[in-house]
Amino acid sequence: MIVSRREFVSLASVAAGTLASVTSVLGADSSLRSQIKAIAFDAFVIFDPRPAFAIAEELFPRNGTLVGEDGLLFAANKLKLELSPEKLDRLMNAYLELNAWPDVVSTLISLRKTGFRLALLSNFTRTMLEANIKRARLDGFFDHVLSTDQARTYKPDPRAYQLGIDALKLTREEILFAAFAGWDAAGAKLFGFPTFWVNRQKLPPEERGFQLAQSWYESCRFTRREGEGIRGSSAKGLSNMLRTKCAKESRWDLHSPKN
């Protein structure tokens, strides 16, 4: 299915460059405010990935941002990039040492005072999330810290977004999802979450983002053939290679999609 830029924008829902805009939108829309009971955030909405993106761009010129946004395993396989142990070390260390964006603490305080339950819902592993929460001194802000590792998959697989519903015990209409990447915003919207695209990089809406989300969403939803996994046997092979390499590095705790 080919979509227009306008259709992608409608799927990505509200777009803005700061997290503080979430409180403004909720404050201005009383109907939405009464509907939403909890807010789930992608990790990059909370933690500034630009230092890690810079390293990814150095290692993979012209593909660094894609590696950072699409998830390391999926992106490396999709773009046919060589992921040596040395490159893996540098990237993973960078993703363990992220700082919070400047507007995060004040916004989270405001949202909690308003009564919203807060959660992280990320493709990061639990170990990576906890490391960055500790580094950014955000302990106690989140009611749930959800890694797609729990479902053995990645966003935008619908099983990943379902983790928010299962943990929060709410309907999808009651959970606002705050996405960093356009494809994640589109994937969450396809799943049924009210969605806010925190477009910190000020990127234009693009059809590629929706098509990526839709392609993965549909393949994860309908494809369960033995040995195929989420994106084919080659993705599974890469995942298994990395899991073997990182088996003794519990702080990395990499996961691979399940069939």
CA-nearest of 130, 191, 183 to 164 is 191
Structural contact between residues 233 and 30, judged by C-beta atoms closer than 8 angstroms = no
Per-residue exposure over 174-199, b if at least 16 CB sit within 10 Å of its own CB, e if not: bbbbbbbbbbbbbbbbbbebbbbbbb
Which amino acid is located at 124 in the chain? F
42 is catalytic: yes
**Alpha-carbon dihedral angle through residues 109, 117, 95, 62, given to the nearest 10 degrees:** -100
The one catalytic residue in 42, 70, 149, 157 is 42
CA-nearest of 48, 45, 47, 94 to 72 is 94
Q: Is the torsion defined by CA of 125, 127, 128, 129 positive or negative? A: positive
Enter the DSSP assignment of 75: H
Determine if residue 17 is left, alpha or beta; phi over 0 gives left, psi from -120 to 50 gives alpha, anything else beta: alpha
Active site residues: 42
